[in-house]
Amino acid sequence: MTSRISTGLWALLAAFSLIIAAGSLRYLLPQVPGIPPDVAKNLMRQPWLVMHAGLASVALLVGPIQFVPRLRAARPGLHRWLGRIYVFACLAAGGAGLLLAWGTNAGPVAQLGFGTLAIAWIVCTAQALRLAMARRIVEHRRWMIRSFAMTFAAVTLRLYLPIAPILGYPFMDGYRIISWMAWLPNLIVVELYLRRAGLRRSVIVPA
């Protein structure tokens, strides 16, 4: 039963990740269709937005694969290679995200919300990498779960965007709140999960 719930939850996370990544990859086209007008005004848009959207999409696509226990056990080499790709994508997209946070047209609340998210994303991912290299696998796994909670902010942000306009509030007010709400609840949920699960079962990655 528990494993069926976990599989269902994983499939849902993977499907949302795939949809958002596919939509974001349009930023790699020479003429970007449907760029939000406020994002087009971002002071750091050139060249950082293309790099950010492209690499963050890679992180969203690779992340869910890394959490499949059977694949990790059967193909540890593949897990390591995809892990390197995921870490590179998060660190580079996070750096670009920090610059975009500085350049946003949405004002200081959003600058701080996105900026804090970018730093948290980089810190969680770097910590997960360090622990993997030290072969401290249980802790590595905990930090990768935190890292993906940050990556998944790209999905939660887009799910929350319609809420303010539907309730009759200005889009920009909602956007500023979402720069925090897209990731803080993700982090809280993950911390509660990690505390509850304890993650006592260590994941063995052969040397």
Stretch that binds ligand HEM, among 76-84, 149-157, 163-171, 186-194 (CB under 6 A): 149-157
Q: Does 151 bind ligand HEM (CB under 6 A)?
A: yes
Give the separation between CA 197 and CA 9, rounded to whole angstroms.
Answer: 15
Q: Give the binding-site size for ligand HEM (rule: CB under 6 A).
A: 30
Please identify, using beta-carbon distances, which residue of 39 and 205 lies nearer to ligand HEM. 39
Closest separation in Å from C-beta 5 to ligand HEM: 25
CA diameter of the chain: 56
Q: Does 53 bind ligand HEM (CB under 6 A)?
A: yes
H-assigned helices in 75-107: 76-103
Q: Does 164 bind ligand HEM (CB under 6 A)?
A: no
- Residues 1-40: x/- map of binding to ligand HEM (CB under 6 A)? -------------------xx--x--x--------x-xx-
Give the separation between CA 101 and CA 116, rounded to whole angstroms.
Answer: 9
Q: Does 66 bind ligand HEM (CB under 6 A)?
A: no
Q: Does 147 bind ligand HEM (CB under 6 A)?
A: no
Spatial CB neighbours of 180, under 8 Å, sequence gap ≥ 6: 109, 113, 116
Tally of CB atoms within 10 A around 149: 23
Q: Does 178 bind ligand HEM (CB under 6 A)?
A: no
DSSP at 30:
S
| End-to-end C-alpha distance for the chain, whole angstroms | 33
Q: Does 63 bind ligand HEM (CB under 6 A)?
A: no
152 to 2, 115, 145, 170: CA distances (angstroms): 22, 16, 10, 25
| Kind and range of the H or E run holding 198 | none
Q: Does 131 bind ligand HEM (CB under 6 A)?
A: no
Residue of 98, 13, 24, 101 lying closest to 58 (CA atoms): 24
Closest separation in Å from C-beta 42 to ligand HEM: 4
Q: Point out which residues bind ligand HEM (CB under 6 A).
A: 20-21, 24, 27, 36, 38-39, 42, 49, 52-53, 56-57, 59-60, 94, 97, 100-101, 104-106, 114, 117-118, 121, 150-151, 153-154
